[in-house]
Amino acid sequence: MSENHKKVWITGASSGIGKAVAEKFAKEGWKVAISARRREILEEMSNNDKIFSYPLDVTNQDQVNNTFNKIIEDFGGLDLCIFSSGTYDPKNEKSIDVDKIKNVINVNFIGVVNCVKSVEKNFKQKKSGQISIVSSIAGYRGLPNSSGYGPSKAALTNFAESIYFDFKKFNVNVSIISPGFIKTPLTDKNEFSMPFLETPEFAAKKIFNGLTKNKSFEIHFPKPLTLLLKFFRILPYKIYLFLIDKTVKR
């Protein structure tokens, strides 16, 4: 099937990486369903004749199911789902705020689980398709001032690894996307210098190429940063904690 006939559903599409990815896939000829809570932004994006708006709150399972069913009805099927909804506020991460951590987990993790569940039966029955989950390098290891966001992304990565085996039996590919620092409304809230900061367009290109050409389990970028953090993942706790403690400003 040519890319001109392929169809993708993207959540978290109203800003940042999700928005750039939606625009990239549309530019490449894909038919793109976009979802997020901000209806007005989705409607503006849908002025593109390849992009179609389906507003929803990913934390509401009924909304997610109904939205997926509506997309299938309108599109006739999907080839790829990119679940990238997320929330983050560094000011809420400096101390343990249980309610705010619950909200981050509910949006970043449970919201994605809701989306995967909504497509599971359809993809398994047709024995084809791709599901890609946007996680973060923040999920690689524990970092300072990340009491909610980091754990939510670590859970996503572990979730993707876990369901990979089950979906593979049905010829459905599961992958994870681990971006570094990308300039978005969320990272604009950071009060520290972000190494190897890249644009959403850079991220969209890496994601598009990774999902349509390479099809490896993990798409991670920018490599100078992600490879360093991957090395940190294998360090013993004593060395890792010492290095982070000395590196991060108090």
Residues that are catalytic: 149
Neighbours of 56 (CB within 10 A): 24
| Residue 119 near residue 174 (C-beta atoms within 8 A) | no
Angstrom distance (rounded) from CA 198 to CA 179: 10
In Å, how far from its chain's centre is CA 55? 17
| Strands of 218-221's sheet in order across | 51-53, 31-35, 7-11, 80-83, 130-134, 173-179, 218-221
| Residue 119 near residue 161 (C-beta atoms within 8 A) | no
In Å, how far from its chain's centre is CA 61? 18
Angstrom distance (rounded) from CA 104 to CA 108: 6
Structure tokens at 71: 């997309």
- Collapse the DSSP code of 95 into the 3-class scheme (helix H, G, I; strand E, B; otherwise coil) and give the result: coil
Q: CA 63, 64, 65, 70: dihedral to nearest 10 degrees?
A: 90
Label the pairing between strands 80-83 and 218-221: unpaired
